[in-house]
Amino acid sequence: MKQISSLNAALNEAGDISRFTGRFLSHWFKPRYEVAEFFRQCFIIGYKSLPLVGLTGFIMGLVLTMQLRPSMVDYGVESQLPAIVSIALIREIGPVITALIFAGKIGSSIGAELGSMRVTEQIDAMEVSGTNPFKYLVVTRVFAATCMLPVLVMLSDAIALYGCYLGVNIRGDTSFNLFWTQVFDNLAFYDVLPAFVKTFFFGFAVGIIGCYKGYNSRKGTEGVGRSANSAVVVSSIIIFVLDLLAVQITDLLGFY
């Protein structure tokens, strides 16, 4: 009985999120456009996430290289280390790990910010003054998250590859030019494009879930904490589901 009611609640929430997404799409193109707020959100969501994303990217590239080296040495393909690491990073690890870090930082921050605005009646105040809080608060944040995550993933990938270069040179001697030649000789268009496209969906998912949880926050400060927490949990799960779908679609389209 308990499982049925949990399933029922999950399905209800899925329906509510779909309706919220529909509302977002219906508001997206309609004027008035909150351009200034959009750029402010891009700065907060994108620029201010860069140090965290850059650091995790660097460590990701370095550690992956150091962990792979012994096996590569055993098989006698140590020279292929840059190629293998770069493909793994660009196709899968970079987008997914960056999106998860992004969900942790941005999803929770949007959920908490909108949640506290809801419980302190700031969203109601916007509504009663005849302005459109959905457009100002939700559309700008979701759009900014959708645009900024692909940029962050590209930068994170680049930093991760630099980490990989350092990792390769801890116990080897590969020149900078040779490293990049090996990376780009082994990367194809179909490695980069699907990975790049799916990051827009990851960014959208983080933005819409964070906004949904915060915008519909209830029950005071406890509700705000719960909104922030569930924004991270739900958007992380959705990132994995979207990744699974992206891999299947890429496979069906023959990008391998």
Partner 1 sequence: MATAESILFKEHTENQGAPVMSICHLYKSFEDNHVLTDFNLELFKGENMVVLGKSGSGKSVLIKCIIGLLRADEGTIKVFGENIPDLNDEELDKIRTKIGFLFQSNALYDSMTVRQNLEFPLRRHWIKVSQQEVDAMVTNALNDVGLIHTIDMMPEELSGGMRKRIALARTLILKPEIILYDEPTTGLDPVTGREIIRLMVEIKKKYNTSSLIISHDMNCVRMASDRIVVLLDGICYANGNYEELTNNQDPKVKQFFE
Nearer of residues 114 and 206 to partner 1, judged by Cβ:
114
Residue 130 interacts with partner 1 (CB under 8 A): yes or no: yes
Question: Do residues 126 and 133 touch, judged by C-beta distance below 8 A?
Answer: yes
Residue 125 interacts with partner 1 (CB under 8 A): yes or no: yes
The span from the CA of 28 to the CA of 26, in Å, is 6
Nearer of residues 16 and 124 to partner 1, judged by Cβ:
124
Q: Is residue 255 left, alpha or beta, with left meaning phi > 0 and alpha meaning psi from -120 to 50?
A: beta
CB of 21 to partner 1, least distance (A): 18
Task: Identify which of 225, 204, 50 has the alpha carbon closest to the alpha carbon of residue 141.
Answer: 204
Count of alpha carbons within 13 Å of 25, Cβ hemisphere only? 7
Phi first, then psi: what are they for 132, rounded to 5°? Answer: -110, 95
Nearer of residues 127 and 185 to partner 1, judged by Cβ:
127
Nearer of residues 80 and 132 to partner 1, judged by Cβ:
132
Nearer of residues 76 and 130 to partner 1, judged by Cβ:
130
- Span 94-123, contacts to partner 1 by CB under 8 A: 120-122
Question: Do residues 137 and 117 touch, judged by C-beta distance below 8 A?
Answer: yes
CB of 142 to partner 1, least distance (A): 18
CB of 198 to partner 1, least distance (A): 32
| 8-state DSSP, 172 | S
Q: How many residues bind partner 1 (CB under 8 A)?
A: 13
Nearer of residues 130 and 254 to partner 1, judged by Cβ:
130
- Span 11-70, contacts to partner 1 by CB under 8 A: 32
Nearer of residues 18 and 131 to partner 1, judged by Cβ:
131
Residue 158 interacts with partner 1 (CB under 8 A): yes or no: no
What b/e string do you get for 29-46 counting C-beta neighbours within 10 Å, with b at 16 or more? eeeeebeebbeebbebbb
Neighbours of 178 (CB within 10 A): 14
Segment lying near partner 1 (by CB under 8 A), choices 9-17, 64-72, 124-132, 164-172: 124-132
Task: Identify which of 153, 252, 245 has the alpha carbon closest to the alpha carbon of residue 199.
Answer: 153
- Strand, helix or coil at 45? helix
| Among 6, 18, 67, 131, interactor with partner 1 by CB under 8 A | 131
Residue 129 interacts with partner 1 (CB under 8 A): yes or no: yes
Question: Do residues 128 and 24 touch, judged by C-beta distance below 8 A?
Answer: no
CB of 243 to partner 1, least distance (A): 34
- Strand, helix or coil at 219? coil
| Among 55, 87, 126, 233, interactor with partner 1 by CB under 8 A | 126
Q: Given the rule CB under 8 A, which residues bind partner 1? A: 32, 120-122, 124-132
